[in-house]
């Protein structure tokens, strides 16, 4: 497997999109419930979806910082790539829509301002 550092930006976005597109959460009962969530997909990116479920902006920011150098060279660039239309998905939708669906108001506000 090639190291991400040797891949082009397009390849990185494509790799993220493909790996994350396969991920999803199945929540039972109330949308806000985080204790009955199952994760399937690239576990390297699951913290982004968890941050939305928990409505935890600090967890989201830490997850973004952890991907500096892998996805992009700065936290703002990482966030832009992950929230792009072909970026990361949780439960089949992009992070902004997922945060809106989950009524994660703090994360939604943060992501909306970052776009």
At residue 1 the predicted structure's pLDDT band, cuts being 50, 70 and 90, is very low
Q: In the predicted model, is pLDDT for residue 29 greater than 60?
A: no
Each residue's pLDDT tens digit, 48-86: 999 999 999 999 999 999 999 999 999 999 999 998 888
Q: In the predicted model, is pLDDT for residue 110 greater than 90?
A: yes
pTM value is 0.67
The pLDDT value recorded for residue 113 is 87
Task: Concatenate the DSSP letters of all residues of the chain into one string.
Answer: ---GGGS-HHHHHHHHHHHHHT-EEEE-SSTT--TTEEEES-GGGHHHHHHHHHT-HHHHHHHHHHTBTTTBSSHHHHHHHHHSTTS-EETTEEHHHHHHHTT-HHHHHHHHHH-
């Amino acid at each position: 497997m090639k190291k991400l550092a040797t891949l082009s930006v397009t390849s990185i976005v494509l790799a993220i999109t493909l790996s994350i597109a396969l991920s999803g959460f199945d929540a039972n009962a109330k949308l806000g419930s985080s204790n009955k969530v199952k994760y399937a997909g690239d576990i390297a990116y699951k913290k982004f979806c968890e941050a939305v479920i928990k409505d935890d902006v600090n967890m989201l920011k830490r997850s973004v910082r952890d991907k500096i150098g892998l996805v992009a060279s700065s936290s703002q660039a990482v966030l832009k790539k992950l929230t792009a239309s072909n970026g990361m998905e949780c439960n089949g939708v992009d992070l902004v829509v997922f945060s809106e669906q989950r009524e994660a108001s703090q994360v939604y506000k943060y992501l909306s301002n970052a776009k």
